[in-house]
Amino acid sequence: MDFNGQKSTPYIADILHQQGIEHVIICPGSRNAPLTLAFARHGKFKCLSVIDERSAGYFALGLAQSTQNPVVLICTSGTAALNFAPAVAEAYYQNVPLIVITADRPESWIHQQDGQAIPQRNIYNGFIAASYFLKGELYHADDLWFTQRSINEAFGVAKSTSLPIHINCTFNEPLYNEDYSRIKANTIKFSMPLKSVDIIWAEILTGKNVMVILGQLPELPELDLILAAKKSLVCIGENLSNSQLVFYNASESRFFVKEKPDHIINIGGPIVSKQLKKYISSLDVPVIRVQTNDQIVDTFQNTKMIVKMDEVSAFRTLVHHCDMNPCDPEFYNNWMNSTSVAVEKRNAFVGAAAFSDFTVYNFIASSIPERSVIHLANSTPVRYAQIFNDLYKSCAFFSNRGTSGIDGSTSTAVGFAYASDRLNFLISGDLSFQYDANAFFNDHLKGNLKIIVINNSGGNIFRVIDGPRELAERNDFFETSRKHEFSNLAKHFKLNYQRVSSIQELSFAWPEFISISKKPSVLEIFTDAEISADTFKEFYKYLQQ
């Protein structure tokens, strides 16, 4: 059977539709025209155009987090594909499935001074679960067989691993004059393996005093139901663990507890607090890592065992074990009391603190409506938010803490909010917000997105952490202090905008800011960098007194 160079793209699109893909993010270009037309003319996809590839990648990341379904990401050849890389890396470390489809020139034209022709094989090597390299034209039945087999497999890998995959398609001209009438592709369905719940913790845990450390996790309501039924389990977590019942604020209570657990069970993604990681590592307690993949994760440098199990099943069986083998009451009570002490000391401190980043974050945590989704930008927002963890009410938390870069925080929030029916708050510093200004360069903005920019004129994190704060070059090359505001940027993108520079002004502006609107709202809060850094350092000194 001779296909005479028929494009493979209608089959690609139809298979991904039958496998359950709904959203396709398309960046404009010429070489990807066969892909663009195949998905746009299919009629069953929600195709969204996002112009800037770097922003589009993070938009797709947020959308995949919000819908909990793989999202297709399409771009043209050359450096466009390179610009997806930061978001692909973030998705890899957050276990978010993206199906990245890059158009390519025929490989015979690589290094021949042809426009937008660069080597695209293994372009995301190290940050994807699998790569597929397809010819965009079909000349033989085997070509179709190979294409359909590859696309089915690619979807299956993305779905089963919860990781991004890469499909690279080379296209010859012509790119536009093709018949995209509907065809029927061959779809192969996958039977997902059942997750084991038959782990006998009694064979693993030889001591009674168990401590669980929760890293970054999606919202898992069943997890909280399990925790609610077991109130004597010491469970440490930051707000990114998305558990409403984790009583311990990881950035504070480490100062007050000396009792060592017998075992530490680590579940979930990265931990923000560097101090917590150092503290846990210093205990020299055996760590049991719970995860669903085969990668070795040893954050605390003392992992003794990896248990392959999903989070909910792990907690269900762990709670059953702890019911049979309860921890010492004194051990649990000491950790519980440490939380109360930390909160009391924080409340006393904030009541006497000057207007600063610290008092602003306290106000935000106390005022954000229940059940909101909160997106935390890097670097200071994600750290400050931990201090006031207990003040948020039934909120979900997300942050690009897979790679911890500042480059796509806003785009990720925009993508998440697009598919969300809840109020979405992005809390950002001025540098991160400026860096990702192209997040608003699309037509998919919704009024449920509320953006809080804390403008302290630069990277205030470098005034706080050890090392850079003492350098003479800090201001020019680390903090990169800039005196600017974002009213003109908000005006350019037709965003609602308010600015405040005191708690009184913040209190007055807040009701209007959180009200439902037809377009996103920006609240820019101006604070003094030096006062904010000094307040932050004084707080931790006060905790240790």
Q: What is the pLDDT of residues 279-289, one digit of tens each?
A: 888 888 888 88
Q: What is the DSSP string of 442-478?
A: BS---TTEEEEEEE-SS-THHHHSTTGGG-TTIIIII
Domain with CATH 3.40.50.1220 in the chain: 201-340
Report the percent of the chain where pLDDT is more than 70.
88
One-letter amino acid for residue 32 of the chain:
N
Q: Where are the alpha helices (DSSP H) in 270-428?
A: 274-282, 311-324, 329-352, 357-367, 380-387, 409-418
Q: Convert the pLDDT of each residue in 67-124 to its tens digit.
A: 999 999 999 998 999 999 999 999 999 999 999 999 998 887 777 666 677 888 999 9
* CATH fourth-level superfamily of 6-170: Thiamin diphosphate (ThDP)-binding fold, Pyr/PP domains (3.40.50.970)
Per-residue pLDDT at 250: 47
Question: What is the CA 235 to chain-centroid distance, rounded?
Answer: 22
What sign has the CA pseudo-torsion 376, 377, 383, 384?
Answer: negative
Report the percent of the chain where pLDDT is more than 90.
46
Per-residue pLDDT at 179: 64
pTM for the model = 0.87
| Best-predicted range by mean pLDDT (149-158, 415-424, 436-445) | 415-424
Domain with CATH 3.40.50.970 in the chain: 6-170, 353-543
* CATH fourth-level superfamily of 201-340: TPP-binding domain (3.40.50.1220)
* CATH fourth-level superfamily of 353-543: Thiamin diphosphate (ThDP)-binding fold, Pyr/PP domains (3.40.50.970)
Closest CA to 424 of 448, 443, 397, 400: 448
On whether the CB atoms of residues 52 and 17 are closer than 8 A, the answer is: no
- Report the side by side order of strands in the sheet with 449-455: 396-398, 373-376, 424-429, 449-455, 521-526, 496-500
Cα 278 to Cα 253: distance, rounded to the nearest angstrom? 14
Higher-pLDDT residue of 496, 338: 496
Per-residue pLDDT at 464: 54
Cα 250 to Cα 236: distance, rounded to the nearest angstrom? 6
- Rg (C-alpha) for the chain, rounded Å, is 25
Per-residue pLDDT at 245: 67
Mean residue pLDDT of the chain comes to: 85
**354: pLDDT strictly greater than 80:** yes
